[in-house]
Amino acid sequence: MDAPQKPLGLLLRTLDRLLEERFEEALERHRLSRRQWQLLNVLADGQETVGQLDEAIAPFLDAQAGETSERHLEPLLSGGLVAEKGGMYRLTDAGRAELRSAREAVEGLRSVTVRGLDDGEYERTVRALEAMIDNLAP
């Protein structure tokens, strides 16, 4: 007799928790938080205002608590990774170098995450999850 399948919600919460933990570990040697990592990636494409940055990482900000990207920018500014002029934020040369280095750590994590999956299995899983989200969305 087959063992009962674990509930999808439990699997998703467990995967989310493990991804968050491993992501934090991968970025901590770069002294970056997940939000700071996201901001650096957005700024890699060019200059942005706080409003544009907020919009870019909105799904990860706690809107009910009034969280904005501004609080996550402060350590990047004081650390010399981001510069601000006239309300526009941009990466510095040091910020670009740190982002390149952090990307290597994140790519290693992504490789470990999908290890053992057959070709196309990751993409099929993502499509299946997107379909489930669409089915349940209001």
Query: Does the 8-136 domain belong in CATH 3.30.470.20?
Result: no
Residue pLDDT, tens place only, 71-94: 999 999 999 999 999 999 999 999
- Each domain of the chain, given as residue ranges in start order, spans 8-136
What Cα–Cα distance (Å) separates residue 8 from each residue in 5, 13, 19, 73?
A: 9, 9, 16, 36
pTM for the predicted model, two decimal places: 0.79
Q: Which residues of 95-126 are buried (b: 16+ CB within 10 A; e: fewer)?
A: beebbeebeebbeeeeeeeeeeeeeeeeeeee
Residue pLDDT, tens place only, 95-123: 999 999 999 999 999 999 999 999 999 99
